[in-house]
């Protein structure tokens, strides 16, 4: 190859590699969040693929508490470093005067996006329903002072925090809310064989004329729906109502009621009232039932205290009748207020020691931990906090191991 030909080849190769080098240098180390930014858009801008947004979140867990919300003026890292933590050690404070910037929610079964907290602040039952918001988390600084209670038998060694993912152990280490409003309102309950005053959803209104109620529709957040009060009952403007489904019946304990959302009554001038959707936990559709929402009493920022002589109960059933149990699943217990069970109580699910023919003997071992999020007179609803053995059948023993301070 002649000298002139080699020079031309080098010039062509340099021209081809120049854009790549320029593109590699164009990505900055950090990005300051501006109003309207989302992790989805930042991943498209800097990484070339919006589906890579979890990578930016992973690099900024010390800044972003919840990937559904980022705030103006937050400085996000765009490339990794030795000081990037896999799990944030402290809560991220909300910048003064900052408005949350929504991130496009990724689909998650049974976990719809809820309304902003300020939209429901007028009603004590609906206030603070927007749990995906960082602004809904207490802003008090984390104190280094610990109660003189050894929680090691309950939650394990705190020194292992850096080696585990989200768990009860991590929750107890942080300044957190033991029970959230969304858990209270979305988990469901058993009717305990009572005749509940169910109303009925007619459908969405388009616009606010009841004559135009549509059938077989799904109401979105802030949509208006037509509802019918129960026979002999009435609603008032401002009432907060639960919308839900009535599922299977558990013998001796009544029907399973599964909430799909909350609505607030806005018009009662006609027999068919109008209500606005203020929170959604699952699709809100026509022919679902309506029931006055219970009042949620926030237990405050407290930690469970271990106890040794707790209530003995049994797990009645899984709410969603799945064969295996996982974190955040909902289960029902056969003990309630009359037995001393309260919101926030922790129960340990244990299998009984027993021998089996031609099979290994089953020992008395823990199978998982659950926390009570709703209490009736004879039953309680609990969410799974941790799982050791996922095959947890109905009838499994539940032992109360901790209570929230009263």
Per-residue pLDDT tens for 108-163? 444 344 444 444 444 444 444 444 333 333 344 444 444 455 555 544 554 544 44
Helix (H, G, I), strand (E, B) or coil at 33: coil
- Looking at residue 54, its pLDDT comes to 85
Model confidence over 358-388: pLDDT tens digits?
A: 655 556 678 899 999 999 999 999 999 999 8
Same domain? 125 vs 171: yes
Rounded Cα–Cα distance for residues 229 and 274 (Å): 11
Q: Are residues 359 and 373 in the same domain?
A: yes
- The secondary element (H helix, E strand) that includes residue 8 is helix 3-26
**H helices, E strands: number in the chain:** 6, 22
131 located within any domain: yes
Shared domain check, 195 and 180: no
Does this model's pTM top 0.85? no
Determine, yes or no, domain membership for 298: no
Residues linked to residue 346 through DSSP beta bridges, in sequence order: 371, 402
Q: Which of the pair, 37 or 121, is modelled with greater confidence?
A: 37
Do 361 and 331 lie in a common domain? yes
Mean pLDDT check: name the lowest of 3-12, 67-76, 131-140, 188-197. 131-140
Note whether 258 and 344 are same-domain residues. Answer: no
Query: 């930690």: which residue's tokens?
Result: 303
Compare 26 and 109 and report the one with higher pLDDT: 26
**Shared domain check, 327 and 277:** no
| Average of per-residue pLDDT values in the chain | 75
**Looking at residue 95, what is its pLDDT?**
53
For residues 201 and 286, membership in a common domain is answered with yes
- The pLDDT value recorded for residue 72 is 85
Instruction: Please report where in the chains the tokens 């006609």 appear, as a residue.
Output: 270
For residues 260-269, one letter each, b for 16 or more C-beta atoms within 10 angstroms of the residue's C-beta and e for the rest, the string is bbbbbbebbe
Residue 406 confidence class, pLDDT cut points 50, 70, 90: confident
Least Cα distance to 166 among 66, 247, 79, 83 occurs for: 66
Q: Considering the domain boundaries, does residue 4 fall inside one?
A: no
What is d(CA 378, CA 320) in angstroms, rounded to the nearest whole number? 20
Q: Are residue 192 and residue 178 in the same domain, yes or no?
A: no
Burial of 108 (0-12, 13-18, 19+ CB in 10 A): exposed
Q: How does pLDDT run across 254-286, given as a tens digit for each residue?
A: 999 999 999 999 999 988 899 999 999 999 998
For 100, 142, 181, the CA distances from 62, given in Å and listed in that order, are 17, 15, 25
User: Do 218 and 259 share a domain, yes or no?
Assistant: yes
In a domain, residue 112? The reply is: no
Q: What's the domain range around 336?
A: 305-403
- Pair 234, 246 in one domain: yes
Predicted local confidence at residue 127, as pLDDT: 46
Top mean-pLDDT range of 19-23, 27-31, 115-119, 392-396: 392-396
**Rounded average pLDDT over 400-405:** 92
CATH number at residue 334: 2.40.10.410
């Amino acid at each position: 190859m002649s000298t002139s030909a080699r020079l031309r080849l080098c010039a062509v190769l340099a021209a081809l590699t120049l854009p790549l080098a320029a593109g590699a240098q164009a990505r900055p180390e950090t990005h300051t969040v501006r109003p309207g930014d989302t992790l989805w858009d930042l991943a498209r801008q800097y990484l070339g693929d919006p589906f890579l947004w979890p990578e930016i979140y992973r690099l900024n867990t010390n800044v972003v508490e919840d990937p559904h919300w980022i705030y103006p003026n937050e400085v996000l890292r765009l490339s990794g470093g030795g000081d990037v933590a896999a799990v944030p050690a402290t809560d991220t404070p909300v910048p003064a005067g900052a408005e949350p910037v929504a991130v496009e929610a990724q689909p998650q079964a049974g976990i719809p996006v809820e309304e902003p907290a300020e939209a429901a602040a007028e009603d004590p039952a609906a206030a603070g329903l927007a749990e995906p918001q960082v602004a809904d988390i207490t802003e008090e600084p984390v104190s280094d002072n610990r109660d003189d209670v050894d929680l090691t038998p309950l939650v394990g060694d705190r020194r292992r925090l850096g080696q585990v993912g989200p768990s009860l152990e991590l929750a107890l280490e942080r300044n957190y809310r033991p029970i959230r409003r969304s858990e209270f309102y979305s988990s469901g309950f058993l009717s305990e064989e009572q005749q509940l005053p169910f109303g009925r959803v007619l459908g969405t209104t388009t616009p606010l004329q009841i004559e135009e109620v549509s059938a077989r529709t799904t109401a979105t957040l802030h949509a208006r729906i037509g509802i019918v009060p129960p026979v002999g009952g009435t609603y008032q403007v401002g009432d907060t109502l639960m919308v839900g489904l009535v599922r299977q019946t558990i013998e001796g304990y009544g029907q399973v009621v599964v909430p799909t959302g909350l609505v607030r009554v806005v018009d009662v001038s006609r027999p068919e009232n109008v209500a606005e959707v203020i929170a959604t936990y699952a699709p809100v559709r026509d022919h679902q039932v309506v029931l006055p929402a219970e009042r949620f009493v926030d237990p405050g920022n407290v930690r469970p205290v271990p106890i040794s002589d707790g209530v003995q109960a049994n797990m009645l059933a899984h709410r969603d009748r799945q064969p295996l149990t996982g974190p955040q699943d909902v289960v029902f217990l056969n003990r309630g207020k009359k037995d001393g069970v309260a919101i926030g109580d922790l129960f340990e699910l244990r299998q009984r020691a027993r021998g089996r023919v031609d099979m290994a003997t089953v020992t008395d071992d823990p199978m998982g931990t659950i926390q009570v999020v709703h209490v009736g007179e004879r039953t309680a609803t609990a969410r799974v906090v941790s799982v050791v053995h996922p095959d947890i059948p109905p009838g499994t023993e539940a032992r109360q191991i901790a209570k929230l301070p009263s």
